[in-house]
């Protein structure tokens, strides 16, 4: 995020980035002494522009949550994530979200633990498991294409 700020991709000041990206309680069902979560921005599934905390220079805003467990040594095991980018009014799709549900989630039995929502909550498309840095890069660099 520092590089995106330096490259003028982010429209929020550096001190706000530090304020809006922080350690949070893990999602329900995957708590544990070795489990940690980091969140960036406010999750607002109504996707109201005024709730956006992490905003790009082009008006797009995003939020994310990454949940990991301490592994052996310094390794971290990726348990779950949500990365969502929301577009300004009138854009189709309104949002794109990449989800990796936690182990044991009902979507796992349907082989859809990792999926994306292209603008609709009820629409899920299979997606590869993304490295969290790769997913964050997508949120920062996905462009609005208009005709």
Number of independent structural domains in the chain: 1
Q: Tell me, what DSSP letter sits at residue 50? A: G
Specify if 147 maps to a domain.
Answer: no
Is beta strand 61-70 parallel, antiparallel or unpaired with respect to 95-100?
A: unpaired
146: in domain? no
Count of residues in the chain: 147
Backbone angles phi, psi at 88, to 5 degrees: -60, 165
* Three-class secondary structure of residue 82 per DSSP: strand
Q: What is the pLDDT of residues 6-61, one digit of tens each?
A: 888 889 988 888 899 999 988 887 878 789 999 999 888 888 888 899 999 988 99
Does pLDDT of 147 surpass 60? no
DSSP character at residue 4: H
pTM given for the model: 0.86
Helix (H, G, I), strand (E, B) or coil at 91: coil
Range(s) of the domain holding residue 66: 2-141
């Amino acid at each position: 995020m520092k590089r995106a700020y330096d490259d003028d991709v982010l429209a929020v000041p550096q001190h706000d980035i530090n304020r809006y990206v922080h350690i949070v309680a893990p999602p329900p069902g995957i708590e544990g002494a070795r489990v940690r979560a980091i969140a960036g921005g406010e999750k607002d599934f109504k996707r109201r522009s005024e709730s956006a905390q992490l905003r790009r220079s082009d008006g797009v805003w995003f939020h994310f949550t990454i949940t990991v467990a301490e592994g052996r040594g310094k390794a971290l095991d990726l348990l779950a994530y949500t990365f969502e980018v929301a577009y300004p009014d009138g854009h189709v799709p309104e949002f794109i979200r990449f989800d990796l549900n936690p182990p044991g989630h009902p979507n796992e039995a349907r082989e859809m633990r990792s999926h994306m929502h292209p603008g609709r909550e009820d629409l899920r498309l299979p997606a590869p498991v993304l490295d969290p840095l790769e997913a964050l890069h997508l949120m920062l660099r996905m462009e609005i294409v208009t005709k």
